[in-house]
Amino acid sequence: MTDGQDAIVAKPRPFWVSGRPQDSEDTLDVRHPYDGTDVATVSVPTREQVEEAIAAAAAAAKPFRSTPAHVRAAALEHVSHTLAERTEEIAETITAENGKPLKWSTIEVGRAVSVFRFAAEEARRHVGELQRLDTDVAGERRLGVIRRRPRGPVLAVAPFNFPLNLVAHKVAPALAVGAPVIVKPASATPLSSLLLGEILAETDLPPGAFAVLPVRGSAMSQLIEDPRLPVISFTGSTGVGHGISAAAPRKHVVMELGSNSAAIICADWTDLDFAAKRVATFGMYQAGQSCISVQRVVVDRSKADEFIPKLVAQVESLVTGDPHDPSVDVGPLIDERNAERVADWVEEAVAAGAKLLTGGTRSGATVAPTVLTDVAQTAKVSCEEVFGPVLVVTVVDSLDEAFEIANGTDYGLQAGVFTHDLQVAFKASAELEVGGVVIGDVPSYRADQMPYGGVKGSGTGREGLRSAMNDFTEEQIMVLSGIDL
């Protein structure tokens, strides 16, 4: 292990309840996905400690929503500045627990810095609007004041693939609107959330405004079902998301459930080297463990003979190995079980007639970047979410066929369309059944302030600072009567 990893192992990790560190006798071990070495031991809250955190959040809800905007903004700015100052340490933590290459971990920290900065800015201008009601006779001398009020404490259930930034996308908007937030990090990657708790504890946020609880088993159900947590923001697998919705039918649940995103190479696109590099990079980055990584590549037949070899060459140029090596582009999956699953899906597709152009091998938790073609649309690597470094290439004869294939899935998060044609761009926006269409690039592009979320099986609600703040709040109108407008 590196010196940075040694430092992580040496530091025990408490969790955070009502802004204070606590521990317990129950623990979980965090292991490095690349080689299985121990990274840290983390305390796991008891049911009594979970109850304490919920009660504190409920008690804080009313006073916290009434705090001045500058108090919340200052706390968010402190987090942003501190993350920036501690970038190297936090990036090392992400790589140690998650296994993504250090270069991508550093980018993730930078994005989280921006998320908290954006949240501080939005906290200062989240004021609602005025509405004239004298648009008919009954509304004369009346004015509507529309404000957004927090729905209540937020339960933030985070995934392993972005253990800092996807937590930031839940914590920052909740704190910006004055809603207490309880973070439940993924069991494989709790360290980044716990570090964030440490930084939040340095602010002037009131007790109960935040907690970080790396719970397991029945304690998870305790959080999901408790009526004092009326909002759940979940990012993760479809099965778990549907289970949460079923267990909390009366709660406001925001879900991002993933996708098998398509990149479409249109007949008019000219820079095939650019497209090949972008598709290769963002099909394989994070070892394919991103909800908007490229999984399906749909290529117009007029470009296929030139594009596909370029794509394979770009994929084969990516360096795999120890994610702490700065030259490594593709690291391991989160664990060997998931790597075995991805390899099995690839073997299944090849056995059914798919052509393996490169990759397809596995070593421990690492799967070689893989490109397949001639894949049946019903194969798992095509119709389900691989969440691994696999690209499925399909050649089509028309734009309509490309859109039909892109839409032929239960998911609908984002799509990328490589075109220079404005008419094609607007046609894509009108016809593709996704939450976001990226023109001239891969579906993996995300600006952290933009509305982000999917349709169909990809979830409900939107992230992005202002969008999430709206999801965590509800409108209230106050009608002022007898007003001379």
- pLDDT tens string 321-330: 999 999 999 9
Q: Based on the fold, state whether residues 239 and 273 are members of the same structural domain.
A: no
Both tokens of residue 293?
């990584």
Q: Nearest 5°: phi and psi at 367?
A: -110, 130
Give the pLDDT of residue 68. Answer: 96
Domain count, the chain: 2
pLDDT-based confidence at 437, cuts 50/70/90? very high
Residue 442 sits in the same domain as residue 463: no
- Single out the residue of 425, 431, 343, 382 nearest to residue 259, CA to CA: 382
Based on the fold, state whether residues 254 and 315 are members of the same structural domain: no
CB atoms within 10 A of CB 344: 12
Q: What is the CATH number of the domain that holds 438?
A: 3.40.309.10
Q: Specify the pLDDT at position 435.
A: 97
2, pLDDT greater than 80: no
Residue 469 falls inside a structural domain:
yes
Sign, CA dihedral 446-451-456-461, equals positive
Q: In the predicted model, is pLDDT for residue 4 greater than 50?
A: no
Whether 453 is in a domain gets the answer no
Question: What are the tens digits of pLDDT across the range 262-281?
Answer: 999 999 999 999 999 999 99
Instruction: Answer whether residue 1 shows pLDDT above 50.
Output: no
- The DSSP letter of residue 285 is G
Q: Which helix (H) or strand (E) holds 16?
A: strand 15-17
Q: Are residues 245 and 161 in the same domain?
A: yes
Residues 306 and 288 in one domain: yes
Tell me the sheet residues that pair with 480.
Answer: 143
User: What does the pLDDT average to over 4-17?
Assistant: 67
Q: What is the pLDDT of residues 347-369, one digit of tens each?
A: 999 999 999 999 999 999 999 99
30 lies in the same domain as 90 = yes
**For residue 288, what is the DSSP state?**
G
Do the domain assignments include residue 452? no
In a domain, 485, yes or no: no
> In terms of residues, how long is the chain?
485
Domain span at residue 328? 262-447
User: Are the CB atoms for 69 and 4 separated by under 8 Å?
Assistant: no
Q: What average pLDDT is seen over the chain? A: 95
User: Are residues 213 and 274 located together in one domain of the fold?
Assistant: no
φ, ψ dihedrals at 440, nearest 5°: 80, 15
Residue bearing tokens 């999801």: 471
Together in a domain, 299 and 402: yes
Query: CB-based contacts of 472: which residues, under 8 Å, 6+ apart?
Result: 150, 151, 154, 173, 174, 177, 179, 231, 233
Question: Burial, 270: exposed, middle or buried (Cβ in 10 Å; 0-12, 13-18, 19+)?
Answer: exposed
Nearest in space to 284 (alpha carbons), one of 304, 314, 256, 307: 314
Looking at residue 11, its pLDDT comes to 53
Of 262, 222, 215, the C-alpha closest to 377 is 262
Q: Is 454 within the bounds of a domain? A: no
Element spanning 280, H or E? helix 272-284
Residue ranges of E strands in 103-141: 129-132
Measure the N-to-C terminal CA separation of the chain; round to a whole number of Å.
Answer: 69
The residues that are catalytic are: 256, 291
196 and 312 in a single domain? The answer is no
Question: Nearest Cα to 286, choosing from 254, 239, 318, 240?
Answer: 318
Task: Tell me the pLDDT band of 12, cut-offs 50, 70 and 90.
Answer: low
> Residue 360 and residue 346: Cα distance in Å, rounded?
7
> What's the rounded mean pLDDT across residues 439-465?
96
Identify the pLDDT of residue 216.
86
pLDDT of residue 9: 46
Beta bridge partners of residue 130, listed in sequence order: 145
The beta-carbon contacts of 429-434 under 8 Å, at least 24 apart in sequence, are 431/403, 431/407, 432/403, 432/406, 432/407, 433/407, 434/259, 434/261, 434/406, 434/458
Residue 48: partners with Cβ closer than 8 Å, 6 or more residues away? none
Alpha-carbon gap, residue 391 to 409, rounded angstroms = 16
Which of 30-39, 72-81, 213-222 shows the lowest per-residue confidence on average (mean pLDDT)?
Answer: 213-222
Same domain, 189 and 170: yes
**Inside any domain, residue 437:** yes
> Is 349 a member of any domain?
yes
pLDDT at 290: 97
239 lies in the same domain as 315: no
Nearest to residue 435, comparing CAs of 416, 417, 461, 454? Answer: 454
481 falls within a domain: no
- What is the CATH number for 129? 3.40.605.10
What confidence score (pLDDT) does residue 87 get?
A: 98
Are residue 311 and residue 188 in the same domain, yes or no?
Answer: no
